[in-house]
Amino acid sequence: MNLHVKLCAGWGLSPGDLEKTPPAVEMLAYTRYVLDAGMRGDLLALKVALAPCVIGYAEIATRLASRPDAQAATNLYRVWIAEYAGAPYQEVAAKARTHLEGLADLYATAAREAELIVIFKEGRLLGNGLACGPAC
């Protein structure tokens, strides 16, 4: 969360501004979807719904960090890229992946495969809305 506060400060927004701002529809949709996936399913379903952001951000940032302009002063996303491509977040994502794989080994079955794919795809779609809002 501190990363997001820091990024917003760079755009002239204070923590008070953030606290006064109502949640975006895209954020509400994604977070409620993740919570619902866990409530109607199990821990595996919850972790699959979170995977597009928790693991996906690490993968996206790693790819973006390899671009020549990734750390250019003109790149508005350079702080985001550095944070999510950095070793601490990469470790978070690796642990999340390992945990997800362990849960899948225990609870995923051929019968659940289609359900888990739908959860992942819906989580990805809603998570994308967080990044680009209605423009997605």
The tens digit of pLDDT for each residue in 78-135 reads: 988 999 999 999 999 999 999 999 999 999 999 999 999 999 999 999 987 766 444 4
User: Phi/psi of residue 22, each to 5°?
Assistant: -65, 150
| Per-domain boundaries in the chain | 2-135
For residue 69, give both structure tokens: 């302009």
Distance CA 105, CA 119 (A): 17
What fold, for 2-135?
A: Heme Oxygenase; Chain A (1.20.910)
* Residue 45 confidence (pLDDT) above 70: yes
Torsion angle of C-alpha atoms 107, 103, 53, 95, degrees rounded to 10:
-170
pLDDT of 133 reads 46
User: What angle is formed at CA 117 by the lines to CA 114 and CA 120, rounded to 5 degrees?
Assistant: 155
Mean pLDDT of 58-64: 95
For residue 129, the Cα-to-chain-centroid distance in whole angstroms is 11
